[in-house]
Structure 1
Amino acid sequence: MVTAETGMTTHAIAIVHEEAGVYGIAFPDFPGCIAAGDDLDDVLRRGAAALAAYIDSLLEDGEPVPTPRSLDRLKADPVFRDDAEGGMIVALPVDLSGNKIVPLDVALDEKLIAAVDRAAERAGLSRSDFLAAAAKAKLGA
């Protein structure tokens, strides 16, 4: 297990399936962490956001974060092999550093907020996640 005190950045293995033009993603080491999207890029963005929210929730509740298994270990798991049948295996970066999220009040022009919300929705992100990503990009982080 990884906790906020022993955090690290690594990769989480995910399984992507497509059915009738809809893509779904699931993370075997993070039970119940799933997302859906209209195309592969969309489902990967939404999957990354869902995984970040899942981990944040665990950390906020003081729960340990599961350590992602290697692909070799997952391939040895018969449940994983069954779940992965007909799907695509992907590795997404995951930040297990346990950096604390701090609430922030800001005042912005309502048209800017509307534009941010539209862009965040297209990216499959919350407003907060979108603004954080924009700030990181601007800062080169």
Structure 2
Amino acid sequence: MKLPIVVVKEPSGSYSAGFLDLPGCITSGDDPEDLMDGMQDAVETWMHGRDSSEFPGKASTLAEALEHEYANDGAIVFVDIDTSFLDETAVKANLTIPAWKLAKIDKAVEKSDVDKDNRSKFMTRAALDYAARMGLNN
């Protein structure tokens, strides 16, 4: 999805950008390439903790972007954002693990106060928690 941003060159020589369709979603970079490299991460970070329905169904058109209150603050650029991270479709995954490990996981599921009786949710939560500890928050 191509989303409009306003790019501003700061007095320090660095660059910043704000997404017109995502209020408060901003990013910055030392140079234009650095700025563009951070776009996807900025959007995913902005969406973290939000419901996917908060993401706009369609992007503003150029005419709409030109009417935005921040349009005159810098250059309007449309950036391509990969929205696949919003896809919440359940996908079946086949795992091969030793029986004793699966039994241990099932015991943990039974004792869980959050994902009781749901191995898939339990394992997904555990994997995502582990990924977050590795610094992979998005």
Q: TM-score range by the shorter chain?
A: 0.5 to 0.7
Partner in structure 2 of residue 137 of structure 1: none
Partner in structure 2 of residue 73 of structure 1: 64
- 1:74 maps to a residue whose letter is A
Q: In the TM superposition, what is the alpha-carbon distance from 1:73 to its structure 2 partner? A: 2.1
Aligned pair partner of 2:136 in 116, 128, 140:
128
Question: Which structure: larger Rg?
Answer: 2
Aligned pair partner of 2:5 in 7, 14, 21:
14
Partner in structure 1 of residue 44 of structure 2: 52
Q: In the TM superposition, what is the alpha-carbon distance from 1:64 to its structure 2 partner? A: 2.4
Gaps of 5+ in 1: 1-9, 107-112, 114-126, 133-141
**TM-score for both structures, normalised by structure 2:** 0.56
Cα RMSD between the aligned structures?
2.8
- Hey, what's the Cα distance between the residues in 1 that align with 2:47 and 2:83? 8
Q: Which runs of 4+ in 1 moved over 4 A?
A: none
- 1:85 maps to a residue whose letter is N
Sequence identity (%): 24
Alignment of 1:1-141 (within 5 A): 10-20=1-11, 21-59=13-51, 63-67=53-57, 68-75=59-66, 77-79=67-69, 83-85=70-72, 87-97=74-84, 98-100=86-88, 103=128, 105=130, 127-128=135-136
Q: In the TM superposition, what is the alpha-carbon distance from 1:92 to its structure 2 partner? A: 1.4
- Higher relative CO (Cα under 8 Å, sequence separation at least 6) belongs to 1
CA distance 1:93–1:57, shift in 2 (3 Å): farther
Paired positions, count: 96
Q: In the TM superposition, what is the alpha-carbon distance from 1:78 to its structure 2 partner? A: 5.0
